[in-house]
Structure 1
Amino acid sequence: MPPRINIPPVTRILLILLVLQSLLSAAIRYRQWTANSEIVIPYLTLIPQLSLLYPWTFFTTTLVESNVFTVAIAGLTIYNGGRYLERAWSSREFGKFLLISSLIPNLLTFGTMVLLFTLTQNERWTLTTIAGTVPLQISFLVAFSQLVPAHTVTLFRGILSLRVLRFPLVYITAILLLSLTPLLTSASFFLAIYGFLTSWTYLRFYKTVFPDLDSSQPASLRGDASETFAFAEFFPGPIKPFVASISEQVFNVLVTMRLCVPFSAADVSAARGDNFLQRSVPGGARAEAERRRALALKALDQRLHAATANAATRAQQAPTPPTVQPPAPSATGPTVQTQPQAQPETAMTSQPSGALGETRYSPDHDAGKEVH
């Protein structure tokens, strides 16, 4: 009997809707296909000039892909990323994150297309289809950057190594290149940009933090004031100061407009302390736990080697105990059966297996100041 695949409810719904809507879109385009015209579906996907009569398209368009390649990528992303995040955050928090990271980028891209049409008077902008899971995919990458910011992913057998914080920028670059091909529309690049900004802003300032029962963190804490999740940390070192300066000015403007609330001294103190990390699941801090687990495994491995070596040395140096002769049986009394002589304990000489392994952990050594 094949093993049962356990998929959390929200992730399962996303996968079903992705497959159904993509198949429906493909069937409609197949039936209406002509060699001289481009087929649009304004009641399923978001098209600025045609979809105002169908407001639900601001939600449905995110789970519509136009070809097999993008459907496969979207399915793998939702299956793996969705399961991880939903189990880490709970279904309710994960659903809220999905709603924000898909609806707001769609609205902002819609407004950008209308603005470009106003500036250029080119009708192509308002007839461009805004669809696809691009905002969800980059939102997942931003969430992983918050959960495990100091971890490194090694690709192609060590040829390429990238920190998790670098993946959103790499993804945006890839989307920019693919938007120049028929695989993606020009709106995909704007979806990636707005998805990145929206998801980071929500996780940085608004997402509710799970209370950690092992710490004194307040239950009403929101956002993530840690320096490792600052906006400039997503960019390479040489341009970090420039990005930090710009992001600080933008943050001050948003605070003036009352769209963002500055972190309090307690928030910053909690984020820098050992007992608090936003990147956590209920009952513990994920990033800190993984770091400590790696160090504990390494220390345990070293202790096992040392204990094995010491036991073997003591066994070799220990003198052989003298042989004790049993007493002679009495001539008049009954024969007493002597107990068998205990054998000396054999020392363990086998080496500990390498099943424990080691976890690579490369904390960020950049001592830049906190940037909002």
Structure 2
Amino acid sequence: MLFDLPDHASLYDALLARDATYDGRVYVCVSSTGIFCRLTCPARKPKRENCTFLETVGECIERGFRACKRCHPLKPMASADPAISALLTALDERPEYRWREPDIEKMGFDPSTIRRSFKRQFGMTFLEMARQRRLRDGFETIVDGGKVIEAQIDAGFDSASAFRAAFAKLLGKAPGRLDSDPILFADWIATPLGDMIAVTSQSELHLLEFADRKALRTELAKLDKVAKGRIGIGKTSPSRQIASELTAFFDGTLTGFETPLAYHGSAFTKSVWDALRDIPAGETRSYSQIAETIGRPTAVRAVARANGANQIALVIPCHRVIGADGSLTGYGGGLWRKQKLLETERQYLPLITDKKS
């Protein structure tokens, strides 16, 4: 900790007041937009429940948030050091490039100085910032049957331990601890709303979550127990099917998913998930409406808990549940994604109407 953070209420008040006291010491990450800002940002203030306050830019970036284009939280660091400004610009121009220390030297900078400067300003080095964007490549190398060392190289990690740590932070296990003869397989699927992790058996989809969701590691740990540690990486027929269906979904040509699902929950929870799947694309329901649908009108809170326990996002469409007053309410993948999903599904209404007629 750089200093003791005040409580959430105090920081939110400081955000509303645009209190410069915390400038450069605390940043606000807004789940509804996926953006992080300085507390002095002139943009419209987010709702209290959508705010998370972190001490460093590095923490914000690690959690998948993008820098605000109005208050430019990276600008003070860049302005203070021309080298940082040049490297941030280069990274934005070539995010896919595997940056290494010789590249820094070619730009006329001393790698050790750059390392210290980025660590001081962002809580991570420039190479760590760049490598975070590359982890997906390493994952896909293993999916395609490549060795861990090949995955490490493809991901642009010079250190095997750093690659293992980054990998474990995502999946809860380092590559070497994944089962070589798994019964559950993790796969990486890119979507317009962010990368997703799918876990499948040879016959069913067990999990589908956005890679940046905080609960992902907990959900994977539960599946690991179910599989008795036999989780690995690879593609299966269900993972290929769901990847294809997700492409069609975001293209606006798919009104329902057909990938076979494996439910992990109580009988009541499963009944809620079935009710969610019965909500047509382009429509929404409240918790109380779902409770009525399953014949348990007084079990509204239990319905909400079952909704939150869903670990097969989009396919079991918990994003179609809104508050009784029409508000979006919470969503594990972020309210900004929920809004985008509902907007995406509005395009399905003509298709559904045509089918009915």
Place the TM-score, normalised by the shorter chain, in its bin.
Answer: under 0.3
Normalised by the size of structure 2, how large is the TM-score? 0.25
| Higher strand residue share | 2
Flag the structure with larger Rg: 1
Greater relative contact order (Cα < 8 A, sep 6+): 1
